[in-house]
Amino acid sequence: MPIMYFLVAWIVSFWYDKADTKIVNTGFMGWTSLIAGIIILLIGLATFNSHKNTDEQGKPVGKKHDFFYIPILYWGIFFTLLSIYLLVFTEKKPSPEEMTVEIPEPTDRILCLYNPSAEPLTYIIADETGQGLIERETVEPGKYVKTTLNAQTYLFSAYNENSETTLLLPDREDAGDTTKYILYEDEKGLFYQRILRPATKTHSDYDEAWLVLDGKHHLVLVDVTNVCSGKLNTEDVNDFDWEKRIEEIFDAKDLIEPLYQVEKKGKSINIIAPGDKLPSDTEPGQIIYMLIPFNGEKPDNTFIANYILSGF
């Protein structure tokens, strides 16, 4: 019987790494005991009571089949029950920490390029530290496009049909801000590039960055959850104090990062892009914001209400 058990253990070891074929490994021992137990149990059933057969004179014939004075059949039952115990009751279950899948750190970011003007605008994305021209595309009036960029530094610019520059980053006034720009030097001299940070690992914040290609229309971020949830009708929207729902105001001459690395405890964030329609309902625990373009002074309640109503 020991030979049978160790033979089964050797066969089962092919399904385990060498370090996992120890007695303390309940999985390895459980499967070994189960297979060996079934084989020994079958042998025990076939040989049980065989020593009680008698010849014509009534003398016992046959051989006793036991191990340490215990019939083989009982050893088979023992190993079978032992395997059930090892596999069902003592098999190590992974802890919540072990079950957690490690999410890799993001290395890129989605950039939205928005044209709020009445004429087509062409943007350029470049990297003077090595890659040169990365992307050039024309955006139609009132539209925006998305592109995915590696998290690094870039030069951003835009121009109209008359080749007049409408946007240029880095902006000279802010180029000294080391949280936004990095200073480089080559054979031509010194130059700055705008930092584009990577998306975050969490899905509850908002990772997309924005550029306004005309450099004039600023963006205001307004909480419109009550509209999408159906709590406000058209008359309510016109009468509502929207200025109290302004979350942030962004300068058109800089890279815009709405709610970047900002988490609302227990909430998820959804931001409606300029020109997109508002959703007709909300998911549980969701906050919905709307990016509204404006040119000039801070928008008032009437301006915000009219823009929201246009999004239905």
How would you write the pLDDT of the chain (312 residues) with one tens digit per residue? 677 667 777 777 766 655 455 555 676 677 777 787 787 777 777 766 655 555 556 555 555 556 666 676 777 777 777 777 777 767 555 555 555 667 788 999 999 999 999 999 999 999 999 889 999 999 999 999 999 999 999 999 999 999 999 999 987 777 778 889 999 998 888 899 999 999 998 877 899 999 999 999 999 999 999 998 888 888 899 999 999 999 999 999 999 999 998 888 878 899 999 999 998 888 888 899 999 999 989 999 999 999 999 876
Which residues is 136 bridged to in the sheet? 124
DSSP per position, 198-213: PPPS-SSS---EEEET
pTM score of the predicted model? 0.67
Decide: 147 and 135 in contact? Cβ < 8 Å: yes
Domain spans of the chain? 2-99, 108-123+135-147+197-310
Q: What is the helix (H) or strand (E) element at residue 8, kind and residue range?
A: helix 2-12
| Pairwise CA distance, residues 149 & 152, whole Å | 8
153 contacts 195 by C-beta, under 8 angstroms:
yes
Residues in the chain, overall count = 312
Q: Which token pair is 219? A: 């963006």
What 3-state DSSP class applies to 165?
Answer: strand
DSSP label at residue 220: E
Token pair recorded at residue 244:
């109290």
